Amino acid sequence: MHKKKFNPWPYLLIAPALITIFAVVFFPVLNAVLMSFQSYDLRRPSQIRFTGLANYAAAMHDSLFWQALLKTAIWVVVGVGFQFVFGFMLALLLNRKFWGRGVVRSISLIPWVTPGVLIGLMWRWIFDGNYGVLNDLLMRLGLIHDKIPFLAQQSTAFPSVILTIIWQGIPFFALMLLAGLQGIPEELYDAANVDGANAFQRFFLITVPSLKNTIFVTTLLRIIWVANSVDVIFNMTEGGPAYSTQTLSVYVFNKGNTLNLGYASTMAILLALALALVAVPYLKMLFKAQEESK
Amino acid sequence: MKRKLVFALMAVLSMMAVIAVSAQQKPVTIVHWYWADNPAYSAQMQKIATDFNATNGKGITVVAQEYPWDGGAYSETLFRAVMGGGGPDTSSFKLTSTPLFAANNLLVNLDDFLAKWKDKDKIEPSLYDTMRKASGTKSVYVMPWNTQVLYVYYRPSLFKKAGVTVPKTYAEFLEACKKLTMDTNGDGKIDVYGFGMRGAKGGQEPWGSFIWARGGNFDDLTTPQAIAGMQDFIDLYKNGYAPPTAPMDGFNEIIANFKSGKTAMTIHHIGSSIGMVDTFGDDVDAFAFPGGVGRWTSMGDTENIILKSSKNKEAAFEWLAYLATGKGQEAWCVTTGNVPVSKDVQQLPIFQNNRFMKVSIEGAPYAGIFPILDTTTEWISTIWPNTVAAALAGKMSAADAMKQLQKGLWGK
């Protein structure tokens, strides 16, 4: 019997990619997992040692951890939810033919292409309690009589950063959903018109089902990105005042910044697990829906 | 034969001299990190490096690289860079970071360099003692550069309008904060606040003066005296004598508020004085934070260090010496208005005749620093601003806030 000759080429060709991914993804992740089991605090290098689940136990007793987790849930649900709603509305608008559509499409991308750090700084000044343009606008419109220190009081700081992340993420949804909308055959709408379907029925019986996969993938991506986002909050409030805007990723960043890498890694892994809890059922639903549609 | 021997000897000596000179002048590059509070300071540091490169005569080229101070995050940026195998040869530095860098064995011991340095005595011996104390050893690891003593900036015209004189006691200061909070245009709204409070990172320095004025100190933040100081701080905000944005106001905000006339007093050091005079001319002055039961103000310190990873430590020390007592010291302190550490530079007329320098010197006897612990950086960057923000918002009592601050700093 002729034995098949081993061909090393496929392995050699994918080796650089695999090595790179291992070096820049798997190795740091592995390192973070290992650090989460150690008292890895660079301020006390002589005390770095294996501590088992001590960091995880500490996180369970850390009220700031639970507060940050709750903030993360609100941040993601409200942030991504409104990004989706407004993104969808924008996509429907941009899918219509009107004069200057190309320009409007380009302009609508500005929040998405602007770096998060810049967005944070820009909105920090917009919301500024002394010189911010938002206060000025609201006062000129007669909606308020005294300036509101949006980012300096706990009741308004978190809604302010959520508003900013909504503004940033709308174009992403608009872009992805617009691409999906353009892939829906016009005949479906023509047939629905012949059948006497109204706009509401056309939207929920043709548009939404046709975009189901796009909606699944884009929302999942945004959930992960927004949950992990640090730049906008950090540049606007650094998690304050009084930890009122501190999501889990910002807490991880702050802890990492103060060099308690063991505890920061622990919280990062707990955040990853929490995201996996959302992502796995979500992907299962997606694959199931794809199977059913075949 | 004798002549040949002399020629040979001369030739050998000449060659040795050439080798020695060329070895000494072997070009070396020193990468120096620093922060600057504004573009003028930034330009000055670049000029100092250029001047040093042109005049040192030892083939040393300093490349000065600027990084933001970012409310103290500079130290962490530097630490991460060095731990990651990068970073500079030398860097500007704050004493509070000494435990972190010393614990990780990143600093060069300067004792041998100082022993051989001819200008060593141009710096007050007490400053070397402070450097030793910060390291927790008998050695000097950080090179003194300049100091800043916090004091109160005020607007004489606003004092006149409010009928307030320069406070001489802590009680008078609190009263001045109240009286200086004014509706100047009669529209029923406050448009000048008495005190430009700093509630964000870095605000612990002016806050410390309130704690001490009531007789408290940093060893135990839970004493009734310390709590009373905290209560005063809270009351200034609660009673509306500080801008509503105070919990998130950092350096940029307090300076902008003062310069725009929104606040009548604010606390910072001489480093801001040039900008203040540019804005107000003679309508800005300063006084030392007044005493109550106790008296304290923050001594901002800035030093320079040599990192152990540097391959050119001798050249690095030459550069630090230039900054400490050479032309670099004079140039930097003249531009920034910081208090020089060189006794010679202190005697220059430009410093002797400066009204802000006089106030700095007046405050120097009771100026101090926060306890230098391995918890201090986290306490400054995260724990203090968030705890104080909660207390200012009324979500936490002064006593609870101080208990939390005590735990964050001392661990108990």
Q: Name which of A46, A130, A154 is nearest B257 (Cβ-Cβ).
A: A130
Contact by Cβ (8 Å): A176, A218:
yes
CA atoms within 13 A on the CB side of A52: 3
Instruction: Say whether residue B343 is in contact with chain A using an 8 A CB cutoff.
Output: no
Do B45 and B161 share a domain, yes or no? Answer: no
pTM of the model: 0.84
* Mean pLDDT for chain A overall: 93
> Distance between CA B120 and CA B317 in Å, rounded?
12
pLDDT class of B367 with cuts at 50, 70, 90: confident
Do B354 and B385 share a domain, yes or no? Answer: no
Domain interval for residue B206: 151-299+368-410
DSSP string, B186-217: SSSS--BEEEE---STTTHHHHHHHHHHTT--
On the question of a cis peptide bond just before residue A241, with omega within 30 degrees of 0, the verdict is yes
> Distance between CA B323 and CA B92 in Å, rounded?
10
Chain B: closest CA distance from residue A26 (Å) = 19
Do B251 and B386 share a domain, yes or no? Answer: yes
Which neighbouring-strand residues pair with B143? B304
- Judged by DSSP in three states, B252 sits in helix
Nearest CA in chain A to B381: A258
E strand or H helix at B50, and its extent? helix B39-55
Average pLDDT, integer, range B60-64: 97
Answer whether residue B145 shows pLDDT above 70: yes
Do B268 and B398 share a domain, yes or no? Answer: yes
Average pLDDT, integer, range B351-374: 86
Mean pLDDT is lowest, of A110-124, B39-53, B92-106, B293-307, for B92-106
Q: Output the domain CATH number for residue A226.
A: 1.10.3720.10
DSSP string, B10-28: HHHHHHHHHHHHHHHT--E
Q: Which two tokens stand for residue A249?
A: 């990723």
Q: Provide CB contacts within 8 A for A276, sequence distance 6+.
A: none
Contact by Cβ (8 Å): B159, B264:
yes
A206-221: pLDDT as tens digits: 999 999 989 998 999 9
> Distance between CA B226 and CA B209 in Å, rounded?
10
Confirm whether A20 is domain-assigned: no
> Distance between CA A87 and CA A109 in Å, rounded?
11
Do B85 and B194 share a domain, yes or no? Answer: no
Confirm whether A92 is domain-assigned: yes
> Could you tell me what percent of chain A has a pLDDT over 70?
98
Tell which residue, B159, B88, B150, has the closest CA to residue B319. B88
- Say which amino acid occupies B362: E
Confirm whether A279 is domain-assigned: yes
Contact by Cβ (8 Å): B93, B75:
yes
The verdict on a CB contact (< 8 Å) between B386 and A242 is: yes
Q: Which two tokens stand for residue A34?
A: 């290992």
CA dist list (Å): A204 to A200, A210, A294: 6, 10, 20
CA dist list (Å): A2 to A5, A10, A219, B208: 9, 21, 52, 85
pLDDT at A215: 93
Do B24 and B97 share a domain, yes or no? Answer: yes
Contact by Cβ (8 Å): B60, B52:
yes
- What is the C-alpha end-to-end distance of chain B, expressed in Å? 85
pLDDT at B10: 64
The verdict on a CB contact (< 8 Å) between A259 and B100 is: yes
Contact by Cβ (8 Å): B307, B143:
no
Q: Among all chains, which residue has been given the structure tokens 């700081």?
A: A157
Answer whether residue B24 shows pLDDT above 70: no
Confirm whether A202 is domain-assigned: yes
- Judged by DSSP in three states, B182 sits in strand
Instruction: Say whether residue A121 is in contact with chain B using an 8 A CB cutoff.
Output: no
Do B287 and B306 share a domain, yes or no? Answer: no
DSSP B241: S
Tell which residue, A139, A134, A137, has the closest CA to residue A150. A134
ipTM here: 0.84
DSSP B251: H
Tell which residue, B248, B238, B230, has the closest CA to residue B177. B238
A169-182: pLDDT as tens digits: 999 999 999 999 99
Do B338 and B380 share a domain, yes or no? Answer: no
Average pLDDT, integer, range A97-101: 89
pLDDT at B354: 87
Instruction: Say whether residue A171 is in contact with chain B using an 8 A CB cutoff.
Output: no
Residue length, chain A?
Answer: 294
Which neighbouring-strand residues pair with B286? B153
- Judged by DSSP in three states, B323 sits in helix
Domain interval for residue A194: 80-293
- Chain B contacts of A149, Cβ < 8 Å? 243-245, 247-248
pLDDT at B16: 58
Q: Name which of A43, A151, A254 is nearest B248 (Cβ-Cβ).
A: A151
Confirm whether A31 is domain-assigned: no
Q: Output the domain CATH number for residue B306.
A: 3.40.190.10
Answer whether residue B113 shows pLDDT above 60: yes
Q: Look at chain A and report how many structural domains it folds into.
A: 1
Confirm whether A127 is domain-assigned: yes
Confirm whether A30 is domain-assigned: no
pLDDT class of B17 with cuts at 50, 70, 90: low
Confirm whether A114 is domain-assigned: yes
Average pLDDT, integer, range A116-125: 95
Residue bearing the bigger pLDDT, B386 or B96: B386
Answer whether residue B316 shows pLDDT above 80: yes
- Say which amino acid occupies A242: A
Q: Which two tokens stand for residue B371?
A: 């306890």
Burial A110-143 (b: 16+ CB within 10 A, else e): ebbeeebeebbeebbebbbbbebebbeeeeeeee
Do B196 and B324 share a domain, yes or no? Answer: no
Answer whether residue B7 shows pLDDT above 70: no
Instruction: Say whether residue B73 is in contact with chain A using an 8 A CB cutoff.
Output: yes
Chain B: closest CA distance from residue A126 (Å) = 14
Question: Which residues 193-232 in chain A show a CB within 8 A of chain B?
Answer: none
> Distance between CA A177 and CA A199 in Å, rounded?
18
Tell me the torsion sign for CA atoms A130, A136, A137, A138: positive
Nearest CA in chain A to B258: A130
E strand or H helix at B225, and its extent? helix B224-238
Return the HEC string of chain A.
CCCCCCCCHHHHHHHHHHHHHHHHHHHHHHHHHHHHCECCECCCHHHCCECCCHHHHHHHCCHHHHHHHHHHHHHHHHHHHHHHHHHHHHHHHHHCCCCCHHHHHHHHCHHHHCCHHHHHHHHHHHCCCCCCHHHHHHHHCCCCCCCCCCCCCHHHHHHHHHHHHHHHHHHHHHHHHHHHHHCCCHHHHHHHHHCCCCHHHHHHHHHHHHCHHHHHHHHHHHHHHHHHCCHHHHHHCCCCCCCCCCCHHHHHHHHHHCCEHHHHHHHHHHHHHHHHHHHHHHHHHHHHHHHHHC
Do B39 and B103 share a domain, yes or no? Answer: yes
Q: Name which of A42, A242, A258 is nearest B390 (Cβ-Cβ).
A: A242
Q: Name which of A46, A152, A243 is nearest B248 (Cβ-Cβ).
A: A152
Answer whether residue B18 shows pLDDT above 60: no
Instruction: Say whether residue B189 is in contact with chain A using an 8 A CB cutoff.
Output: yes
Q: Among all chains, which residue has been given the structure tokens 């801008």?
A: B243
Q: Look at chain B and report how many structural domains it folds into.
A: 2
Do B203 and B310 share a domain, yes or no? Answer: no
CA dist list (Å): B228 to B194, B215, B234, B401: 20, 9, 10, 12
- Say which amino acid occupies B269: H
Do B74 and B84 share a domain, yes or no? Answer: yes
Instruction: Please write down the long-range contacts of B185-192, taking CB distance under 8 Å and 24 or more positions apart.
Output: B189/A146, B190/B240, B191/B262, B192/B158, B192/B261, B192/B262, B192/B263, B192/B264
Q: At what angle do helices A212-228 and A261-293 cross, to 10 degrees?
A: 180
Instruction: Say whether residue A116 is in contact with chain B using an 8 A CB cutoff.
Output: no
Nearest CA in chain B to A245: B386
Pairing of the two strands B28-34 and B90-93: parallel
A–B interface: beta-carbon pairs under 8 A: 98
Answer whether residue B167 shows pLDDT above 70: yes
